[in-house]
């Protein structure tokens, strides 16, 4: 059975990106807290750094 792709809101992405940028919790803790994959944390964090630098 295929799983559906989740549509994430901009607010959720921002919350995940800020939590990843803080770095006060481990990646495993953050993935279980937000119910996302580790690569999603990296992607949101990279997007935050890219928008901050521009």
Per-residue confidence (pLDDT) for residue 24, from 0 to 100:
87
Q: How far apart are the first and last CA of the chain?
A: 42
Instruction: Say whether pLDDT at 45 is over 70.
Output: yes
Domain of 17, in residue numbers: 10-53
Structure tokens belonging to residue 54: 């521009």
Global confidence as pTM: 0.71
The label of the residue with tokens 């690569």 reads: 39
Determine, yes or no, domain membership for 14: yes
Using a 10 angstrom Cβ sphere, with 0-12 exposed, 13-18 middle and 19 or more buried, the burial of residue 28 is: exposed
Per-residue confidence (pLDDT) for residue 17, from 0 to 100:
86
Higher-scoring residue by pLDDT: 25, 3: 25
Determine, yes or no, domain membership for 18: yes
The label of the residue with tokens 């989740």 reads: 6
**pLDDT-derived band at 1, boundaries 50, 70, 90:** low
Q: State the total domains in the chain.
A: 1
Per-residue confidence (pLDDT) for residue 29, from 0 to 100:
93
30: part of which helix (H) or strand (E)? helix 27-34
């Amino acid at each position: 059975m295929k799983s559906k792709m989740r549509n994430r809101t901009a607010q959720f992405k921002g919350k995940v990106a800020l939590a990843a940028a803080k770095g006060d919790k481990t990646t495993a803790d953050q993935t279980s807290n937000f119910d996302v994959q580790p690569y999603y944390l990296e992607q949101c964090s990279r997007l935050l750094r890219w928008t901050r630098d521009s």
